[in-house]
Amino acid sequence: MAATRYRRFLKLCEEWPVEETKRQRDLGAFLRQRVAQAFREGENTQIADPETCDRMYESLVRIHTNYYKNKYPRLKDTSFTGVTVEDCKMILATDILKQMEDMKKGTWKKLREKFYAKKPEEDSK
């Protein structure tokens, strides 16, 4: 039975998309990592709590298939702020978040990082 569970999780990992805009914060990449940890021995892995494993799988399938989005459709594709889904995805992209973090830094901190963050190769020249 563990082999069947392993194959089901592998199939889910294959189907789950990876968002390149969310490097190191992507749910698909996290899921792949957790499945690899949980099934270290592949199909031969012994599962301590099969019921919990099955519940986790079913929950992930509901997320992946947008079960609740389809069950409870929204009238509009915006939130109370008026921001669309596409705008939210763009704002939450790793590159944009890094730019926003850089904007928060003060002038003194930016200058200090610029001048004191030399690479060892530069010092030897």
| Percentage of the chain lying above the pLDDT 70 cut | 84
The beta-carbon contacts of 55-58 under 8 Å, at least 24 apart in sequence, are 57/5, 57/8, 57/9, 57/12
CA distance 83 to 77: 9
pLDDT at residue number 58: 96
Q: What is the largest CA-CA distance in the chain?
A: 64
| pLDDT 10s digits, 44-100 | 888 889 899 999 999 999 999 999 999 998 887 767 777 777 777 777 776 666 776
| pLDDT 10s digits, 4-47 | 899 999 999 999 888 777 777 788 889 999 999 999 888 888 88
Kindly report the pTM of this predicted structure: 0.63
